[in-house]
């Protein structure tokens, strides 16, 4: 049923609105058919989803591409500011996006979509790349890939923001890798997967290098830079744009501002537009995305919206007149022979950088988790609440220097990853309970919270997967998930707030799970 509906939707989408897809060659974007270089005149377009949140639970948000009347209301204003790209931060894959996407296509507007959503995103303080996240990411890819005006995806937004959470970037890069592989495996059009970084002086260069280093299959296809350093009447030098430009001179994939527009003085004058689309920058940068369309509490709006009515603000007219003045001269795709062809070098592990370039965290492969669950001899009872898992993890992983938990280990700085660290919390618990109870007589008890399970022996493809993972889960599984679309159609957010303890094998630290997700003031990276 679901497949049918999707196929029908795809037909409708192709039938209307012809827009030329954007392709990447070297460090530049081009219109596929006529080979004209594409410079992004972007506006962030989403209401009510703040990029600052401490939210750990799933929350409701407005999908900006699901309501025809609001899209059509806004497209004319976007067009007045020459907008050819919008950035959306969270969409609901269960909704229909045909009307908005087609209306945008008719207006020559492309979309860059973040793959996460509030509550289902990579948490900088407790990072992981999991089958639940994979299900969310691929569900967005599935609905957006059919539109020719989908320009690209962001696998994360400002996840690492300080040296002490740079380990999280390893998991985001695993998300990039798996999202790219998924697009390929589904034979979708080539759509790039990138990352939107913050402008933190301690880590910005390492971040750019880390995401671009290593094999092309693992690296980003483009780099988005959220930058607010041009405030008021600044200049190329004073804003630091000169140094940023120099830093990306040799970068081998497109870079653009994924958010810009400092609002310390309002109305914003947007004098940076002249620099961004001028001679000093256009060889390196492909334009940028102004933050943002809607006026909200954070005071970054170009317009204020009330029901059907849109009122343009000073920011809007200033942006529109600045954008109207620029005429970046690009190159033709056929004439362009990229000279930046080398990937960046992975940063070394240091006080300021905690993510090894290789290996990355394991492929989020739900098949492996379910194969494993078929073979475990001890499981947690279904009436045990997820928030109580922490105690059981804590006990088992505290035994024998964490040896029973090696299969769920996640250590980004050493690159030691257990094969099952990407499974759902209940599955990870199944794995460690099994490890423990196989070795300790009477070990499947836990005050009545665990019980014996009838095990099946692994055969066929499960046998292969489990053999690669190894008896203690320390092997490397290379296979990718077989499943057609995203696994597990039930809310991918379920269990997102449950924290599986992070520990060092050999040096178990109780820290995170004792805090518990519920009690935590842990900043969840929303987007």
Ligand X SMILES: *[C@@H]1O[C@H](CO)[C@@H](O)[C@H](O)[C@H]1NC(C)=O
**Can you give the binding site for ligand X, defined by CB under 6 A?**
20, 31, 34, 36, 52-54, 162, 164, 167, 400, 403-404, 411, 413-414, 439, 502, 504
303: helix, strand or coil: strand
**Burial zone of 381 (CB within 10 Å; 0-12 exposed, 13-18 middle, 19+ buried):** exposed
- Minimum gap (Å) between residue 274 Cβ and ligand X: 21
Instruction: Between 123 and 502, name the residue whose CB sits nearer to ligand X.
Output: 502
- Minimum gap (Å) between residue 413 Cβ and ligand X: 5
What are the residue numbers of the active site?
A: 158, 259
- Minimum gap (Å) between residue 18 Cβ and ligand X: 9
Which residue intervals of 376-502 are DSSP H helices? 389-398, 425-439, 460-469
CA distance 105 to 148: 8
- Minimum gap (Å) between residue 167 Cβ and ligand X: 6
Which residue intervals of 471-524 are DSSP H helices? 511-515
The one-character DSSP state at 43 is E
Beta bridge partners of 289: 42
Token pair belonging to 483: 């499943």
Peptide linkage before 236 cis (omega within 30 of 0): no
Task: Check if the beta carbon of residue 420 is closer than 8 Å to that of residue 431.
Answer: yes
- Minimum gap (Å) between residue 24 Cβ and ligand X: 16
Instruction: Between 241 and 294, name the residue whose CB sits nearer to ligand X.
Output: 294
Instruction: Between 131 and 411, name the residue whose CB sits nearer to ligand X.
Output: 411
Token pair belonging to 14: 């192709």
Task: Check if the beta carbon of residue 220 is closer than 8 Å to that of residue 253.
Answer: yes
Residue the block writes with tokens 């001890």: 378
CA distance 496 to 514: 17
Strands 85-88 and 110-114, by their bridges, are parallel
Task: Check if the beta carbon of residue 410 is closer than 8 Å to that of residue 502.
Answer: yes
Instruction: Between 407 and 481, name the residue whose CB sits nearer to ligand X.
Output: 407
The one-character DSSP state at 176 is H
Peptide linkage before 359 cis (omega within 30 of 0): yes
Instruction: Between 1 and 201, name the residue whose CB sits nearer to ligand X.
Output: 201
Classify 387 in phi/psi space as left (phi over 0), alpha (psi -120 to 50) or beta.
alpha
Instruction: Between 247 and 296, name the residue whose CB sits nearer to ligand X.
Output: 296
The one-character DSSP state at 120 is B
Instruction: Between 47 and 164, name the residue whose CB sits nearer to ligand X.
Output: 164
- Minimum gap (Å) between residue 77 Cβ and ligand X: 20
CA distance 305 to 249: 40
Nearest-Å Rg of the Cα atoms of the chain is 24
């Amino acid at each position: 049923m679901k497949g049918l509906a999707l196929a029908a939707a795809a037909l409708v989408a192709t039938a209307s609105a012809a827009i030329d897809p954007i392709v990447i060659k070297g460090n530049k974007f081009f219109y596929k058919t006529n080979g004209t270089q594409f410079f992004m005149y972007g506006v962030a377009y989403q209401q009510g989803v703040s990029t600052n949140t401490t939210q750990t639970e799933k929350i409701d948000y407005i999908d900006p591409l699901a309501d025809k009347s609001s899209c059509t209301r806004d497209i004319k204003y976007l067009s007045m500011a020459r907008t050819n790209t919008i950035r959306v931060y969270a969409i609901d894959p269960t909704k229909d996006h045909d009307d908005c996407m087609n209306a945008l296509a008719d207006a020559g507007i492309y979309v860059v979509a973040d793959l996460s959503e509030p509550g289902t995103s990579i948490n900088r303080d407790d990072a992981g790349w999991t089958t639940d996240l994979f299900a969310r990411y691929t569900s967005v890819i599935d609905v957006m890939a059919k539109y020719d005006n989908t320009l690209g995806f962001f696998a994360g937004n400002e996840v690492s923001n300080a040296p002490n959470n740079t380990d999280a970037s390893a998991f985001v890069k695993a998300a990039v890798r798996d999202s790219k592989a998924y697009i390929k495996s589904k034979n979708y059009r080539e759509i790039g997967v990138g990352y939107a970084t913050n402008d933190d002086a301690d880590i910005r260069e390492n971040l750019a290098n880390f995401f671009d280093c290593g094999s092309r299959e693992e690296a980003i296809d483009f780099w988005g830079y959220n930058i607010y350093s041009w405030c008021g009447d600044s200049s190329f030098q004073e804003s630091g744009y000169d140094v940023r430009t120099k830093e990306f001179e040799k970068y081998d994939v497109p870079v653009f501002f994924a958010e810009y527009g400092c609002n310390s003085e309002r109305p914003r004058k947007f004098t940076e537009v002249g620099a961004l689309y001028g001679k000093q920058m256009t060889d390196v940068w492909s334009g940028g995305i102004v933050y943002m369309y809607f006026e909200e509490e954070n005071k970054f709006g170009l317009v204020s919206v009330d029901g059907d009515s849109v009122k343009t603000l000073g920011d809007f007219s200033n942006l529109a007149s600045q954008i109207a003045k620029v005429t970046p001269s690009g190159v033709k795709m056929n004439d362009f022979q990229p000279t930046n062809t080398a990937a960046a070098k992975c940063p070394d592990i240091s006080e300021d950088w905690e993510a090894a370039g290789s290996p990355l965290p394991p492929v989020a492969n739900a098949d492996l988790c379910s194969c494993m669950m078929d073979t475990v001899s001890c499981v947690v009872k279904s009436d045990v609440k997820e928030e109580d898992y922490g105690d059981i993890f804590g006990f088992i992983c505290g035994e024998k220097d964490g040896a029973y938990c090696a299969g769920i280990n996640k250590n980004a700085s050493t690159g030691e990853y257990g094969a099952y660290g990407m499974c759902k919390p209940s599955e990870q618990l199944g794995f460690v309970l099994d490890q423990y109870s196989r070795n300790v007589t009477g070990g499947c008890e836990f005050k009545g919270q665990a019980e014996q399970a009838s095990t099946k022996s692994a055969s066929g493809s499960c046998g292969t997967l489990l053999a690669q993972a190894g008896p203690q889960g320390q092997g490397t599984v290379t296979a990718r998930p077989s499943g057609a679309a995203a696994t597990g159609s039930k809310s991918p957010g379920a269990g997102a707030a449950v924290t599986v303890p992070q520990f060092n094998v050999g040096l178990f630290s109780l820290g995170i799970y004792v805090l518990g997700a519920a009690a935590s003031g842990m900043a969840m990276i929303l987007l």
